[in-house]
């Protein structure tokens, strides 16, 4: 423990950083402060001083509040609790919802400038739902403590916090969440509400069951523990966004089109629905159960196929072995990619760029990872042609972006 850890300082908070934290300075040193808003003066407790370049701190009192501060939407995560006992998962809940989107806009534009080398503004678009940003989570993971009680983890910790409510969750999830029950011997309790069939629990590692999610008129099957967008309007929003992001003039349904990190086929289906049943598209996903579902979900498109493989290995092998005919189909192709939070990374970017597809539609849940990958694509001859952002995670710092890149 450093000599500053546990000490309290008065800090002037100046701006927002990636990760849902704000930035202040103390004697020239950067201090990352949680539960604060740029423009505020706060008293904060130092929680980490081991880094020479910065410290971390938690707000314990707001001395001069921002006009954008509001009563926290979740008392269990709010300033009425000691920072160590605040539930995680609602780190922007004390900020007025419109200003949350403004801060997310700042994070995106700063990341694009610093890591992507581009200056571009963006509007963070709201999704349908409650005006205070509650009631949207269709999936909540609760953890079991040593006494069998359940709750979310504390912010920035793996300590279970028992709570009385889950305001970010949908009404159906809130109704069945067994917050007062005990589950000795288990590790997790997942509560989910698919768009078809009602809310349910997954206790521990019980055998997966198949559920159905509906997007417009289309239905998708998947395992109940499998990945699906969490916001109740997210799948529809991203389907529409990806369909609009594809440049018609650059799309060839007979080309070798790809959907990388494709899950159960949501975005491949978005492409097929827009361009017709003969559209050729290969969706690639490392999770075998998801790929099996994707094959069924995409069965009506004669040119669709689902491959189980790690994307970096599969795309690198394709780039290394494709003959001239395959390369020609790839150069006419469109690549959809929706990588995990860490981004696609240099290996995947290098392989995609080597195949020279006509356009890329990149769906990203982390602005810094997106910006880094954009920088890598720009070094290889691609430029951002369109970028939109969506508030898929209200009352948290997370934000989704959909970007089109084309050969310069």
pLDDT band at 221 (very low <50, low <70, confident <90, very high): very high
> Are 172 and 304 in the same domain?
no
- pLDDT digits over 322-378, tens only? 899 889 999 999 999 999 999 999 999 999 999 999 999 999 999 999 999 999 999
**Residue 362 lies inside a defined structural domain of this protein:** yes
Domain count of the fold of the chain: 3
* H-only helix segments in 136-233: 171-176
- Asked which of 165, 188, 214 is the last residue of a domain, the reply is 214
> Are 197 and 236 in the same domain?
no
**Residue 88 lies inside a defined structural domain of this protein:** no
- Residue from 255, 319, 365, 402 carrying the catalytic annotation: 365
> Are 144 and 123 in the same domain?
no
**Residue 91 lies inside a defined structural domain of this protein:** no
- Asked which of 214, 247, 264 is the last residue of a domain, the reply is 214
In this prediction the pTM is 0.95
- pLDDT digits over 254-294, tens only? 999 999 999 999 999 999 999 998 999 999 999 999 999 99
Strands 21-26 and 8-17 come out as antiparallel
Q: Is 365 a catalytic residue?
A: yes
pLDDT band at 25 (very low <50, low <70, confident <90, very high): very high
**Residue 393 lies inside a defined structural domain of this protein:** yes
**Residue 310 lies inside a defined structural domain of this protein:** yes
| 3-state class (DSSP) for residue 30 | strand
Domain of 343 in residue numbering reads as 105-129+232-407
> Are 204 and 237 in the same domain?
no
What is the mean predicted confidence (pLDDT) over 105-127? 97
> Are 182 and 118 in the same domain?
no
Residue 281 dihedral angles phi and psi, to the nearest 5°: -150, 135
Which residues are registered as beta bridge partners of 31?
24, 55
The CB density around residue 186, as the number of other CB atoms within 10 Å, is 16
Strands 304-308 and 281-285 come out as parallel
Record the tokens describing residue 130, joined without a space.
């409650």
> Are 259 and 399 in the same domain?
yes
> Are 174 and 112 in the same domain?
no
**Distance separating alpha carbons of residues 55 and 370, to the nearest angstrom:** 26
**Could you identify the residue written with the tokens 């288990």?**
186
**Distance separating alpha carbons of residues 407 and 359, to the nearest angstrom:** 7
> Are 349 and 200 in the same domain?
no
pLDDT band at 6 (very low <50, low <70, confident <90, very high): confident
**Distance separating alpha carbons of residues 152 and 162, to the nearest angstrom:** 7
**Distance separating alpha carbons of residues 81 and 152, to the nearest angstrom:** 15
> Are 243 and 282 in the same domain?
yes
**Distance separating alpha carbons of residues 169 and 105, to the nearest angstrom:** 24
**Residue 95 lies inside a defined structural domain of this protein:** no
Instruction: Report in angstroms the alpha-carbon separations of 254 from 251, 332, 403.
Output: 9, 9, 23
- Asked which of 185, 214, 243 is the last residue of a domain, the reply is 214
> Are 110 and 244 in the same domain?
yes
**Distance separating alpha carbons of residues 179 and 53, to the nearest angstrom:** 41
Instruction: Report in angstroms the alpha-carbon separations of 162 from 77, 174, 243, 266, 394.
Output: 11, 14, 42, 35, 22
Record the tokens describing residue 23, joined without a space.
């930035």
**Residue 169 lies inside a defined structural domain of this protein:** yes
**CATH, residue 12:** 2.40.50.140
**Residue 199 lies inside a defined structural domain of this protein:** yes
Share of the chain above pLDDT 70, in %: 100
**Distance separating alpha carbons of residues 278 and 253, to the nearest angstrom:** 7
- pLDDT digits over 154-170, tens only? 988 999 999 999 999 99
Closest CA to 310 of 347, 335, 257: 347
pLDDT at 2: 64
Residue 343 backbone zone (phi > 0: left; psi -120 to 50: alpha; other: beta) = left
pLDDT at 5: 80
**CATH, residue 397:** 3.40.50.150
> Are 242 and 386 in the same domain?
yes
> Are 297 and 389 in the same domain?
yes
Annotated binding site for S-adenosyl-L-methionine: 229, 261, 285, 338
What is the mean predicted confidence (pLDDT) over 96-124? 97
Record the tokens describing residue 269, joined without a space.
């289906």
Q: Do 266 and 235 form a contact (C-beta atoms < 8 A)?
A: yes
The overall average pLDDT reported for the chain is 95
* H-only helix segments in 183-334: 234-245, 266-275, 288-297, 311-321, 324-331
């Amino acid at each position: 423990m450093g000599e500053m850890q546990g000490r309290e300082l008065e800090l002037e908070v100046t701006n927002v950083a990636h990760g849902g934290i704000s930035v202040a300075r103390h004697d020239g040193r950067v201090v990352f402060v949680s539960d604060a808003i740029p423009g505020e003066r706060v008293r904060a407790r130092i929680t980490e001083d081991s880094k020479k370049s910065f410290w971390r701190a938690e707000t314990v009192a707001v001395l001069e509040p921002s006009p954008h501060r509001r009563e926290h939407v979740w008392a269990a995560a709010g300033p009425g609790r000691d920072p160590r006992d605040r539930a995680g998962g609602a780190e922007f809940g004390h900020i007025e919802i419109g200003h949350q989107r403004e801060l997310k806009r700042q994070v995106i534009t700063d990341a694009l400038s610093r890591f992507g080398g581009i200056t571009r503004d963006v509007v963070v678009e709201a999704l349908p739902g409650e005006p205070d940003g509650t009631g949207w989570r269709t999936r909540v993971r609760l953890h079991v403590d040593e006494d069998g009680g359940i709750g979310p983890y504390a912010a920035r910790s793996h300590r279970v916090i028992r709570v009385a409510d889950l305001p970010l969750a949908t009404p159906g999830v809130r109704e069945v969440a067994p917050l007062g029950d005990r589950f000795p011997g288990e590790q997790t309790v997942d509560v989910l509400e698919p768009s078809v069939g009602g809310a349910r629990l997954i206790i521990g590692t019980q055998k997966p069951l198949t559920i159905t999610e509906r997007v417009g008129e289309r239905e998708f099957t998947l395992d109940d523990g499998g990945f699906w967008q969490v916001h109740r309007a997210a799948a529809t929003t991203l389907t529409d966004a990806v369909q609009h992001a594809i440049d018609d003039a650059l799309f060839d349904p007979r080309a070798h089109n790809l959907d990388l990190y494709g899950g159960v086929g949501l975005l491949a289906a978005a492409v097929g629905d827009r361009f017709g049943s003969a559209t050729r598209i290969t969706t690639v996903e490392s999770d075998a159960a998801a790929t099996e579902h994707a094959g069924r979900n995409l069965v009506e498109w004669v040119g669709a196929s689902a491959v189980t493989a790690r994307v970096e290995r599969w795309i690198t092998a394709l780039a290394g072995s494709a003959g001239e005919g395959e390369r020609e189909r790839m150069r006419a192709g469109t690549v959809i990619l929706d990588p995990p939070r860490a981004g696609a990374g240099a290996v995947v970017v290098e392989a995609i760029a080597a195949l020279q597809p006509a356009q890329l539609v990149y769906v990203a849940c982390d602005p810094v990872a997106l910006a880094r990958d954009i920088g890598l694509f720009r070094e290889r001859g691609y430029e951002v042609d369109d970028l939109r952002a969506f508030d898929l995670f209200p009352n948290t710092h997370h934000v989704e972006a959909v970007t089109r890149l084309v050969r310069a």
